[in-house]
Copies of this chain bind each other. A is one copy, B any other.
């Protein structure tokens, strides 16, 4: 039996055909024409699905299901409440895809949730039943797996770990709240904090690395400066670790998963902060003598989206 996995992003749509182990047999992609509306995106995606199946030389009858990862949130029937980068609100994606492929099971989930499922099947969380993926990028995304199934709550809005409030911050989150984990532990968060410290007059080699242009500071320049023992970079990374530690400890205290996987751009600096992060988590965990889930880097790259989406059909 075969499975289709689709990863709809703001710039491109990736489609893959996998077996039940998550091995990709055939794949393809096309641009996401956001401005042309959701009907066009769904039509392009459907054409690509048929092409990918044909390229593999198999019959569409042998495809069990179509799983789709979206940069947003959908309810259990696949109605997409929001997908900001696609400019979608209340798009009945599940219903429309079921019309095009009437005999297939269609499942739709948030892209971080889908990536967590891929990490569970073929990546860093392989062999575990219960795990949480945190993606640290522009924002902080979360994917939760319980008993080998994706968990996204009763209304499909769970696993928004980036918007767990963990403290009080000097700037508000895009969501309107103050203190979201995302405002402490994303690339954006550490850049904003670097900009704040430097514009307050702190001297740092971060600024040189950013061509003396505060707007050109990136997570990479901060971690490079950290490696070179820059004092401001130490302060920034310590704060990042402190609040990420609180966020993960909150998840230990509430969810207690077997494993945590860290993905996204900021996970490239994983080796710089993992030791301090484990210490920080253990400080904030309520039961100090009980083991908690290990924290590991995510291992899947670009294919996580299509593999995880395909595995929604299992």
Contact = CB atoms under 8 A, between A and B. Distances in A.
Interface stretch (A97-105, A208-216, A288-296, A297-305): A288-296
A273 interface: no
Nearest to A146: B146
A153 B289 contact: no
Interface string A146-172: 100001111111111101111110000
A286 B140 CA distance: 13
A254 B164 contact: yes
Nearest to A130: B154
How big is chain A's contact interface, by range?
Answer: 35 or more
B157 A292 contact: yes
Nearest to A142: B254
Contact of A160 (B159, B164, B253): B253
Contacts of A88: none
A220 interface: no
B165 A166 contact: yes
If over half of A's interface residues share one DSSP class (helix, strand or loop), that class is named, otherwise mixed; here it is loop
A179 interface: yes
A177 interface: yes
Contacts of A250: 164-165, 250
A284 interface: yes
A175 interface: yes
A153 B130 contact: yes
B82 A256 contact: no
Given A287-B73, A287-B82, A289-B81, A255 B153 contact: yes
Contacts of A249: 165
A86 interface: no
Contacts of A51: none
B255 A175 contact: no
A257 interface: yes
A291 B256 contact: no
A151 to B, nearest CB: 8
